[in-house]
Chain A
């Protein structure tokens, strides 16, 4: 609290303390005054006030405080009626706090372009409240007067959750959304399906989850998803769904032949898996089957119906395995047996992508942005042949040293950066991969070019489930959050004390975070930075 740069995570753009003095305030019973230009945005602000109160009262053992407190008045002022949360959303806010000694009132004024900016402002204010136990009572203090002006550096500050390798409960997803909100992250990239399972319950194609879910309970129904989307929105988080294809598709697609639609996927469960995919079970969509695109259309229709407010969809597109297609007679017949070059298969893939895009456009009756992972299809030499930069956003997942992102940037593609050797949270537990500490994650600077939308940390799910996912993600994702919100010029060690505080906050909200340092350091943060270095 006494830190001159504040104890806010992620670090705000401008932080000016006008009166360093600490004051007691009655945070439990604030008076809210909200002003927004539409009914919808007013309603959102009302929900925000509830969020504030729930958070304040979360760890309340004793709701009494007999200190001489200031009354707390929180003003939320929003200028734009816009309720859409996407890359164009303005997330800036201004927070002013001041005490009026004559009236014993303490005013917190948050002004923002949109409700989402106001939400960030309120989150910042929550971090400025410090609870103290005095004589078995819990009281709150804050600084007497300060001004914060803040806005994010990058538009896309994401976390990928994979609920296909292992099922993640709605509760687990929600807890991660809370962690994201606390760190001002704004995109949950939901890797909904993979070759292992298909938990998404499609209304039009119930067979998908019937054949693809681990069990009838390990699914996401439309009503659950709708509720989750609302929950995320209240936390300033947009959810981008991904249905990965043409590779990473197996479980859930195997009913095609029985239903008279032919094989929707090939190589499903084929052994030895190493010959047909990177991990078991294998499976890859069958681009030679015209019915595949009808099925995709139905599936996409369900998705766009649920995600009616969204203007983006992730189609995956990573790790297509040529030997799988090459082993299928159907594919060989389709492309012609004489034409089995790498190029021919790339062309087949490109054709798949354009048909899938058509299916999506028909299903959604619009032209939304499509995200694709980098692959041979996004090779800078040929990408323009297959993927239009007006429609596609490319998510790069190459090493820091790789110039692929720079090359794609030069071609003018919009990018989301997921640096593989810094931001892959699953690394360190399999193969020869290494674990990335929060410092490594924090210190990973990405390009600030105009077409770079931002970045994403990826929590692939092979070795995490409801039991251990939270501590694998948190607090490390928060390190990426500051990189993406503030893009600091300083390195992790300068942020250590603040980071440890943020970790304590995450724990106090019920997120099962990992420790990253002995408590000795996080508690005595007066010179923790020195302890860590010398």
Chain B
């Protein structure tokens, strides 16, 4: 042997030793520090390598019971037990018949194969919905290695059959029903989703994604699982299932609004009502009236560009949601409207930042459009054209119209040189609204928007209501307390109503006063049970046909984008089931069944896996021990 060879061999041997040394060292330090032993006597032994699961769940009387893991017991994760034990884990609960298999199989998301019978625009839309579905499923995985793991079967076919292939925009009359049949045969799963429209199929996909879960006890690393068989027939009770978010009191990033839409899609809510401006700020850059955001946004960063808005509208449409943009007028408009005099257009808004604010508006800072200035209506028309263009929404339009301060106008009219002959300023308000409605029609190419929503106000009460507002066009968003006469009166007078009763469906309530004077907004907090148990058509015996649906509202004086999720969820999901399923309410006890708690808990976990941060509903103990906390 040559000297050089020996040196090389020694070198290699040394390297090997080093490698072995590091390997063993690493092995040792990665060993868990603590070991788990079953009994007290074994306290000091530390032989176990990985900490094994400590709980298993048994399905007893259609309820998952938590048991401590003992030797020779088959371990079942809570997710798997819940899925196979009695109740569906679907949210909202389908309204038609549901049969669910009692067996589960593991599958790999790479095995998805999407098929459809349609072409053209709806096919493009569908492929986006498939990818959103795929994302929802992937989000369940707690272990990335799972993608490469072998599973029970090779193919998972998701087949969507759509009858009306020309429906690509959601309308109030759109058929959102679907049927889902899931079967397992010859090593492949087939999910057949049949619906009249794309929007039905989208909901079917959502339901399918809710029949899939992560089983963290499967094998070494856990696995995705799906029911072996299932059939679901489903259709919503109400066609307007809304959620309103205010981005004017505090700015919400586009990312945070996307999370709102993701949560809505998971809960089958279908209208995102975007209260985009208020007297505090005007964050949306409108192409034809850029002055509003330029002078009214909090900062150049805190704005929404046309591209962002359009992308968000598309993001929503893929998820079965329409976007209704609201620029609230004539009240709730101040900052952003002060540029009139500079551009020779006169005062567009009056009382801007006026004090003492309690005399001229409901909350600081004040501001209200100037009904006397004709330029205001020209600008409104431009705004409306932009809003229709940005949202693509020609069926529903929200005009705002709440909390007009007649004192503000009275004070302004006193100062103004033009004589006025209003004995009742409500007429001025009514005329303003009529003019705005005309401008809306002009902005829509002369075509009348069939459903214009107005917040309930003095103007939507008798006698002004019928004087100014056409019941064939106007839907009133009734936000007064449910015990008030508003809602029954409106229905008696033949108006359609969108229910947003403050005492049940206002999500911002309960956080005390943010300003020093005036009432605490609307304390107390509405827990999800209150939202779920609000069923005014039953409690007030209203004609359900006159109710287009409901909407929960989140005003954001005391919300930032950091707690937007937890203010909304899971409470907005409680509303979703009220509007989709509309379960009967026991008005003597108001007891909510255990099944609702269990399903909502599962749904909350689902929202978490999709990247949301919903509020905790109770201690985890209650999740792990169904029925023990009720």
CB contacts under 8 Å to B, within A493-534, are 493, 507, 511-521, 523, 530-534
Q: Kindly state the separation between the CA atoms of A453 and B300 in the bound complex, as whole angstroms.
A: 47
**Once bound together, how far apart are the Cα atoms of A448 and B61, in whole Å?**
58
Q: Tell me the residues in window 610-630 of chain B with beta carbons closer than 8 Å to chain A beta carbons.
A: 613-622, 624-625, 628-629
Contact A260 B621 (CB under 8 A): no
Shortest distance between the CB of A432 and any CB in chain B (Å)? 8
Listed in ascending order, the chain B residues whose CB lies under 8 Å from chain A are: 32-41, 43, 51-55, 68, 249-251, 280-281, 298-299, 302, 335, 355-358, 364-365, 510-517, 523-525, 527, 556-560, 562-563, 565-566, 608, 613-622, 624-625, 628-629
Asked if A196 and B619 make an inter-chain contact with CB atoms under 8 angstroms apart, the answer reads yes
Per the 8 Å Cβ criterion, residues 70-119 of A in contact with B are: none
| A281-B625 Cα distance, complex, nearest whole Å | 10
A515 to B511, CA, bound (A): 11
* Nearest 4 CB-CB pairings of A with B: A259-B40, A437-B512, A471-B563, A468-B566
Asked whether A520 lies within 8 Å of B562 as measured between CB atoms, the reply is: no
Check A216–B51 contact: CB distance below 8 A.
Answer: yes
Q: A215-B54, A493-B516 are in contact. Are A462 and B613 (CB under 8 A)?
A: no
- Are B36's CB and A210's CB within 8 A? yes
Q: List chain B residues, Cβ under 8 A from A428.
A: 510-511, 524-525
Structural contact, A437 and B35, CB atoms closer than 8 A: no
> B527 contacts which of A165, A196, A429 (Cβ < 8 Å)?
A429
The reply on A440 being an interface residue by CB < 8 A is yes
Closest to A438 in B: B512
Determine whether the beta carbon of B510 is less than 8 Å from that of A435: yes
Question: Is the Cβ of A261 less than 8 Å from the Cβ of B40?
Answer: yes
Q: A53-79 vs B: 1/0 string, CB under 8 Å? A: 000000000000000000000000000
Contact (Cβ within 8 A) A515 B628: no
Interface-lining segment among A198-206, A229-237, A321-329? A198-206
| Closest beta carbon of chain A to B303's beta carbon, Å | 13
| A519-B280 contact, Cβ under 8 Å, with A462-B618, A467-B613 | yes
- A contact residues vs B (CB 8 Å cutoff): 165-167, 196-197, 201, 203-207, 209-211, 213-216, 218-219, 221-223, 251, 255-256, 258-261, 269, 271, 280-281, 428-430, 434-437, 439-440, 461-465, 467-468, 470-471, 493, 507, 511-521, 523, 530-534
Q: Which residue of A lies closest to B356 (CB)?
A: A534
Residues on B with C-beta less than 8 A from A531 are 355, 357, 364-365, 515
Contacts A428-B510, A518-B557, A519-B280; is A206 near B55 (CB within 8 Å)? no
**Is the pair B523, A435 in contact by a Cβ cutoff of 8 Å?**
yes
Residues of B within 8 A of A215 (CB): 53-55
Given A428-B510, A462-B619, A513-B560; A467-B608 close (CB under 8 Å): yes
Q: Which of B514, B516, B565, B620 contacts A196 (CB 8 A)?
A: B620
Q: Quick one: closest A residue to B280, CB to CB?
A: A520
By beta carbon, the residue of chain A nearest B621 is A196
User: A31 to B43, alpha carbons, bound, how many Å?
Assistant: 52
Query: Per a CB cutoff under 8 Å, which of B250, B512, B565, B629 touches A518?
Result: B250
Chain A residue nearest to B302 in the complex (CB): A519
Give the CA-CA distance A153 to B424 in the complex, in Å.
59
In the assembled complex, 16 residue pairs joining A and B whose CB atoms fall closer than 8 Å, in A order, are A165-B619, A210-B37, A214-B624, A216-B54, A219-B34, A222-B34, A271-B628, A280-B621, A280-B622, A434-B512, A461-B616, A512-B562, A515-B250, A531-B357, A532-B514, A533-B516
Given contacts A468-B613, A507-B562, A516-B514, contact A211 B54 (CB under 8 A): yes
With beta carbons under 8 angstroms apart, the residue of B298, B614, B620 that contacts A523 is B298
A471 to B567, CA, bound (A): 10
Q: How far is the CA of A530 from the CA of B364 in the complex (A)?
A: 10
Shortest Cβ distance from residue B563 to the other chain A in the assembled complex, whole angstroms:
3
Asked if A207 and B37 sit within 8 Å, CB to CB, the answer is yes
Q: Are A465 and B620 in contact (CB under 8 A)?
A: yes
Q: Which residues of A contact B622 (CB under 8 A)?
A: 280
> Across the interface, do B36 and A281 meet the contact criterion of CB distance under 8 Å?
no
| Chain B residue contacts of A166, Cβ below 8 A | 616, 619-620
With contacts A280-B621, A439-B512, A531-B355 known, what are 13 further pairs, Cβ within 8 A? A196-B619, A210-B54, A215-B55, A216-B54, A222-B34, A464-B616, A465-B620, A468-B614, A514-B562, A515-B559, A517-B557, A531-B364, A531-B515
Tell me if A269 and B628 are in contact (CB < 8 A). yes
Complex contact A435–B620 (CB within 8 A): no
CA distance A514 to B562 in the complex (A): 7
Contact partners of B302 in chain A: CB under 8 A: 519
- A281 near B557: Cβ-Cβ < 8 Å: no
**Which residue, of A167, A222, A434, has the highest number of chain B Cβ atoms within 10 A?**
A434
Q: Contacts of B43 on A, CB cut-off 8 Å?
A: 204-207
Complex Cα distance, B224 from A341, in Å, reads: 57
Contacts of B51 in A (CB 8 A): 216
Most buried by B among A204, A465, A470: A465
Query: In the complex, what's the smallest C-beta–C-beta distance from B69 to chain A, in angstroms?
Result: 9
| Cβ–Cβ contact A532 & B616, under 8 A | no
Contacting pair A280 B364 (CB below 8 A): no
In chain A, what residue has the closest Cβ to B353?
A531
Known contacts A210-B37, A470-B562, A531-B357; is-contact A519 B620 (Cβ 8 Å) = no
B251 and A519: CB pair below 8 A? yes
For the complex formed, measure the closest distance between the CB of B56 and the CB atoms of chain A, giving whole angstroms.
12
Contact A216 B36 (CB under 8 A): yes
Least CB distance, B588 to chain A, in whole angstroms: 21
Partner of B628, one of A167, A205, A260, A280: A280
Q: Could you say which residues of chain B place their CB within 8 Å of the CB of A513?
A: 560, 562-563
Q: Is the CB of B33 within 8 A of A222?
A: yes
Q: Given that A462-B619, A519-B249 are known contacts, is A434 also in contact with B562, CB under 8 Å in the complex?
A: no
Contact: B557 with A515, CB < 8 Å? yes
Determine whether the beta carbon of A532 is less than 8 Å from that of B515.
Answer: yes
- What CA separation (Å) do A386 and B430 show in the bound complex? 74
- Which A residue sits closest to B70, measured CB to CB? A258
Q: Are the C-beta atoms of A518 and B33 separated by less than 8 Å?
A: no
A519, B281: Cβ atoms under 8 Å?
Answer: yes
Task: Return the chain A residue nearest B298 by Cβ.
Answer: A519
Interchain CA distance A334-B112 in the complex, whole Å: 65
Q: Which of B34, B37, B280, B523 contacts A221 (CB 8 A)?
A: B34
Complex CA distance for A219 and B53, rounded to whole angstroms: 13
Please tell me if the beta carbons of A520 and B560 are within 8 angstroms of each other in the complex.
no
- The CB with the most chain A CB atoms within 10 A, among B33, B54, B614, is that of B54
Nearest-CB residue, chain B, relative to A207: B40
Task: Point out the residues of chain A lying under 8 angstroms from B511, CB to CB.
Answer: 428, 435, 437
A281 to B51, CA, bound (A): 26
Return chain A residues, CB-CB under 8 Å to B562. Answer: 470-471, 507, 511-514
Q: How far is the CB of A62 from chain B (nearest CB, A)?
A: 14
Is A514 a contact of B37 with CB atoms below 8 Å? no
Tell me the minimal C-beta distance from B76 to chain A in angstroms. 14
Residue from A205, A261, A280, A463 in contact with B615 in the complex, judged by beta carbons closer than 8 Å: A463
Known A-B contacts A260-B40, A515-B559, A519-B249; A214 and B513 likewise in contact (beta carbons under 8 Å): no
- B620 lies within 8 A of A214 (CB): yes
Chain A nearest CB from B171 CB (Å) reads: 35
Given A437-B512, A520-B365, A530-B355, the answer on whether A207 and B249 have CB atoms closer than 8 Å is: no
Q: Which residue of A lies closest to B44 (CB)?
A: A204
Q: Are A520 and B335 in contact (CB under 8 A)?
A: yes
With contacts A223-B33, A259-B40, A519-B298 taken as known, whether A281 is within 8 angstroms of B560 at the C-beta atoms is: no
